[in-house]
């Protein structure tokens, strides 16, 4: 296994241009494929998750042209759902933003589809989405374990009506249902049962749908109404914002190591909920400045431990857990149960690795409580094939100990060049 011994971080300063957002890249690609007309997608993320979406779309008969650096993609829209005559197997890695929306779209398409992925994808539940698709008449088989991929989908036209969906495990199920809804033959009302986690991701979905000409009636996130029999219309050009979750590592580095660090590609009008990560840094004592196009953080010299509910920003929340190593007191991150069903069981992984560097950690069913060590200890950090474990533990190298990241290449899921970009803001004295 490859390992990366990190040079100690003392201070950081400078500017970073963020890679495109994973969440936006995969939503825009899918809607561009389904839309009427050609869409030029710019600032596309080039990472594993986006490659899985692109490969899936190609296998489904979508034509597109990528620039050499894969950040511009011109997609020829199909003007409707997929129509495939031969049985097709799609390998979608561990990309939640590819698997969930494609599964919903394929349930309503013509063809027979087998959805496969990496072993971890087979441990990430999809039952709530399949239950909803079945309410609409979809035919889906679980090929291995109940309620998990791999799946076989016998696509067929779906008529709409009323459907309920659980929102307490992943917002991606609701996102998937929303995106296919206008292409059903009749109108659809979606009723959300119980709590809706990761709510700001629904705003991203609604925003992208609107860019492709579809309006959704949002009744306070409790129910949604969408007219059927519509077509997505290409906006001709769609620019992907910078990735707000990827921004969190550089902004936290500034909060710990002084800064200022300015990230370009997100700003105060950003559609991504993870921009709210900057507000959490403010609660910890950092200074933040926003423009329309960038966010800048300056550290105050002290970080304050906080007690926060981070359900709305589950991905960037991991960065708070490692920033907490440098706070003046304990930090509690609450209401993040679904960390357990992401790339790894992130609550367990985070607790284990934070303990390795000397923190005292209390891990509950849906929270983590971190008491920072007097001095961060040397450790080799296991990353569990989780890009965010690798990226957020790079912050531990602000401490006295020597930090090694095992399998640093796992950042390729969303940010293949992460460690190079981090090096670009390092200030060595």
Q: Which residues are annotated as a binding site for 3-phosphoshikimate?
A: 22-23, 27, 170-172, 198, 315, 338, 342
**Which among 35-43, 168-176, 236-244, 378-386 is the span making contact with ligand S3P, rule CB under 6 A?**
168-176
Q: Is 158 helix (H, G, I), strand (E, B) or coil?
A: coil
Per-residue binder mask for ligand PEP (CB under 6 A), 383-412, x = binder: -----x------------------------
Q: Which two tokens stand for residue 274?
A: 């993870």
DSSP secondary structure string for all residues of 286-338: -EEEE-SSEEEEE--S-B---EEE-TT-HHHHHHHHHHGGGBSS-EEEES-GG
**Residue 175 in the binding site for ligand S3P (CB under 6 A):** yes
**Which among 193-201, 228-236, 263-271, 288-296 is the span making contact with ligand S3P, rule CB under 6 A?**
193-201
Q: Which residues sit in the known binding site?
A: 22-23, 27, 96, 124, 170-172, 198, 315, 338, 342, 346, 388, 413
Handedness of CA 9, 12, 15, 19 (dihedral sign): positive
Q: How far is CA 143 from each of CA 150, 161, 354, rounded to the nearest angstrom?
A: 6, 28, 37
201 binds, among ligand S3P, ligand PEP, none (CB under 5 to 8 A by kind): ligand S3P
By C-beta, is 274 or 296 nearer to ligand PEP?
A: 274
Q: Which residues sit in the known binding site for phosphoenolpyruvate?
A: 22, 96, 124, 172, 346, 388, 413
**Residue 248 in the binding site for ligand PEP (CB under 6 A):** no
Rounded to a whole number of angstroms, the distance between the first and last alpha carbons of the chain is 32
What order do you get walking across the sheet with 73-76 strand by strand?
Answer: 63-66, 73-76, 38-42, 237-239
Specify whether the CB–CB gap between 267 and 294 falls below 8 A.
yes
**Residue 23 in the binding site for ligand S3P (CB under 6 A):** yes
Q: Is 134 helix (H, G, I), strand (E, B) or coil?
A: helix
Looking at the DSSP bridge assignments, the partners of residue 406 are 3
**Residue 95 in the binding site for ligand PEP (CB under 6 A):** yes
**Residue 315 in the binding site for ligand PEP (CB under 6 A):** yes
Q: Which residue is nearest to ligand PEP (CB)?
A: 96
Size of the site for ligand PEP (CB under 6 A): 9
Catalytic annotation present for 382: no
Looking at residues 101 to 160 of the shown chain, list those that interact with ligand S3P (rule: CB under 6 A).
Answer: none
Q: Cβ of residue 64: shortest distance to ligand PEP, in angstroms?
A: 21
Size of the site for ligand S3P (CB under 6 A): 13
Q: What is the spatial distance between Cα 425 and Cα 427, in angstroms, rounded to a whole number?
A: 6
Position of tokens 């200022």?
260
Q: Is 229 helix (H, G, I), strand (E, B) or coil?
A: coil
**Residue 342 in the binding site for ligand PEP (CB under 6 A):** yes
198 binds, among ligand PEP, ligand S3P, none (CB under 5 to 8 A by kind): ligand S3P
The catalytic position among 274, 315, 382, 407 is 315
Specify whether the CB–CB gap between 308 and 323 falls below 8 A.
no
**Residue 198 in the binding site for ligand S3P (CB under 6 A):** yes
**Residue 97 in the binding site for ligand PEP (CB under 6 A):** yes
**Residue 338 in the binding site for ligand S3P (CB under 6 A):** yes
Question: Mutual orientation of helices 22-34 and 172-180 as an angle, nearest 10°?
Answer: 20
Question: Mutual orientation of helices 96-107 and 127-135 as an angle, nearest 10°?
Answer: 20
**Residue 52 in the binding site for ligand PEP (CB under 6 A):** no
Q: Is the peptide bond before 211 cis (omega within 30 degrees of 0)?
A: no
411 binds, among ligand S3P, ligand PEP, none (CB under 5 to 8 A by kind): none
DSSP secondary structure string for all residues of 8-32: PP-EEEEEEEPPBPHHHHHHHHHHH
338 binds, among ligand PEP, ligand S3P, none (CB under 5 to 8 A by kind): ligand S3P
Task: Catalogue the active-site residues.
Answer: 315
Using CB under 6 A as the criterion, which residues of the chain lie in contact with ligand S3P when the complex forms? 23, 96-97, 170-172, 175, 197-198, 201, 314-315, 338
Q: Which residues bind ligand PEP (CB under 6 A)?
A: 94-97, 315, 342-343, 388, 414
């Amino acid at each position: 296994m490859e390992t990366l011994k990190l040079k100690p971080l003392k201070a950081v300063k400078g500017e970073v241009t963020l890679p495109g957002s994973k969440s936006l890249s995969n939503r825009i690609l899918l809607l561009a494929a389904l839309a009427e007309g050609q869409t030029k997608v710019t600032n596309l993320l080039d990472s594993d998750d986006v490659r899985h979406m692109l490969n899936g779309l190609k296998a489904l008969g979508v034509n597109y042209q990528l620039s050499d650096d894969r950040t511009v993609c011109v997609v020829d829209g199909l003007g409707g759902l997929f129509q495939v005559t031969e049985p097709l197997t799609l390998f979608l890695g561990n990309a939640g933003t590819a698997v969930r929306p494609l599964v919903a779209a394929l349930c309503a398409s013509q063809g027979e589809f087998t959805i496969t992925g990496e072993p971890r994808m087979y441990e990430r539940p999809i039952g709530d989405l399949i239950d909803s698709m079945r309410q609409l008449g979809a035919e889906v088989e679980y090929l291995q374990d109940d309620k998990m991929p791999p799946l076989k989908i016998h696509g067929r036209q779906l008529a709409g009506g009323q459907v309920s969906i659980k929102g307490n495990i992943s917002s991606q199920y609701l996102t998937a249902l929303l995106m296919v809804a206008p292409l059903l033959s009749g109108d659809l009302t979606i009723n959300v049962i119980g709590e809706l986690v990761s709510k700001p991701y629904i705003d991203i979905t609604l925003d992208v749908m609107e860019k492709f000409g579809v309006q959704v009636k949002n009744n306070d996130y409790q129910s949604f109404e969408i007219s059927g029999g519509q077509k997505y219309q290409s906006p001709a050009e769609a620019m992907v914002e910078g990735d707000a979750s990827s921004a969190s590592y550089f902004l936290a580095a500034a909060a710990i190591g002084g800064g200022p660090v300015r990230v370009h590609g997100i700003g105060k009008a950003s559609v991504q909920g993870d921009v709210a990560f900057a507000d959490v840094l403010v609660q910890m004592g950092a200074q933040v400045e926003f423009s329309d196009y960038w966010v800048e953080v300056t550290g105050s010299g002290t970080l304050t431990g906080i007690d926060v509910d981070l359900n709305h920003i589950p991905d960037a929340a991991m960065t708070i857990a490692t920033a907490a190593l440098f706070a003046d007191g304990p930090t509690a991150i609450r209401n993040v149960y679904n960390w357990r069903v992401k790339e790894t069981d992130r609550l367990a992984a985070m607790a284990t690795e934070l303990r390795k560097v000397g923190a005292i950690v209390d891990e509950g069913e849906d929270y983590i409580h971190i008491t920072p060590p007097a001095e961060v200890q040397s450790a080799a950090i296991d990353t569990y094939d989780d890009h965010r474990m690798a990226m957020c533990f790079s912050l531990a190298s602000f401490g006295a100990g020597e930090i090694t990241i095992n399998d640093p290449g796992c950042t390729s899921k969303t940010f293949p060049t992460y460690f190079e970009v981090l090096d670009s803001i390092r200030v060595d004295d």
